[in-house]
Amino acid sequence: MKIFIGTQEEIAKKAAQRYVDLLKEKPNAILGHATGSTPLGLYAELIKLNKEGALTYKDVTSFNLDEYVGLDGSHDQSYRYFMNENLFNHIDIDLAKTFVPSGLDTSAETAANYDKAIEAAGGIDLQLLGIGNNGHIGFNEPNTPFGSCTHMVELTESTRQANKRFFNSIDEVPTHAVTMGIKTIMNAKSIILMAIGSAKAPVIKAIVEGEVTPEIPASVLQLHPNAEIYLDYEAAALLSK
């Protein structure tokens, strides 16, 4: 895994450059997007570059990692809403080519169709990831099988606590989500994982320097041939080298 360390602004700019380079080479790239606080700096940078004409999403297709079960896309805490608000509505992407797992139809067939749609589009060229304090990627919580495809999951208490800041109370935080599986993520041709802040430092040390184990889902990225990790100084603080 290649690791880049800098200020939040530096890593957002550096990650954005990967999108500029990829879309220059492949304007119809398939992009895997992520939600959460971490990608906001990158998304702001991508919006700026798109407005300046440095990159276009005209021919891009997007697949998001996950969605809360029970939330419709118009709910302001749904990940569809997040993506529209924080990226899609501000760039020249065709909304019809943006996909987020359904939080309302949680059947196994619909989940399997999400993987099939990714495959039919040609596979994800660049998948963006955040990371949970427990090492989750997407909503693949600890001990999710590495062979998993898109599926419904029960959120751990720690994930619900971490995300309750966006809701009025813990009771409103959904208990389940639909997420790309670990295999879906690992099938991406290249991956960028971003982490900022000291709360992520222990898990970053574990995924970079520890063993590959389903107990820490993101550790699987050690097995990916083209995974890059972008860290701010706080998130990188416990790395030994």
63 forms beta bridges with: 32, 99
Exactly one of 41, 130, 174, 217 binds ligand PGA (CB under 6 A); which one?
A: 130
Exactly one of 36, 103, 135, 217 binds ligand PGA (CB under 6 A); which one?
A: 36
CB of 187 to ligand PGA, least distance (A): 19
- Active site annotation includes 136: yes
Catalytic residue of the set 45, 67, 125, 141: 141
User: Which residue number, 9 or 94, has a Cβ lying nearer to ligand PGA?
Assistant: 9
- Active site annotation includes 119: no
Q: Tell which residue, 219, 240, 216, has the closest CA to residue 229.
A: 219
Place of tokens 């302001």: 76
Cα separation, 192 vs 196, in Å, equals: 13
Using rule CB under 6 A, residue 144 touches ligand PGA: no
Catalytic residue of the set 86, 113, 133, 134: 134
Exactly one of 23, 100, 131, 180 binds ligand PGA (CB under 6 A); which one?
A: 131
Using rule CB under 6 A, residue 135 touches ligand PGA: no
Cα separation, 98 vs 156, in Å, equals: 28
- Active site annotation includes 66: yes
Calculate the alpha carbon distances from 142 to 40, 78, 118, 139, 154 in Å. Answer: 25, 23, 24, 9, 11
CB of 53 to ligand PGA, least distance (A): 29
Q: Tell which residue, 151, 138, 149, has the closest CA to residue 107.
A: 151
Six token digits for residue 200: 């992520």
Phi, psi of 192, rounded to the nearest 5 degrees: -120, 120
CB 221 within 8 A of CB 210: no
Catalytic residue of the set 33, 50, 125, 136: 136
CB of 211 to ligand PGA, least distance (A): 21
CB of 190 to ligand PGA, least distance (A): 18
Stretch that binds ligand PGA, among 80-88, 129-137, 179-187, 216-224 (CB under 6 A): 129-137
Using rule CB under 6 A, residue 132 touches ligand PGA: yes
Using rule CB under 6 A, residue 186 touches ligand PGA: no
User: Which residue number, 23 or 182, has a Cβ lying nearer to ligand PGA?
Assistant: 182
Using rule CB under 6 A, residue 37 touches ligand PGA: yes
CB of 79 to ligand PGA, least distance (A): 11
- Active site annotation includes 113: no
CB 159 within 8 A of CB 231: no
State how far Cα 145 lies from the chain centre: 18
Sort residue 137 into left (φ over 0), alpha (ψ -120 to 50) or beta: beta
Strand, coil or helix: 73: coil
Q: Report, as residue numbers or ranges, the catalytic residues.
A: 66, 134, 136, 141
Q: Which residues contribute to the site for ligand PGA (CB under 6 A)?
A: 36-38, 130-132, 136
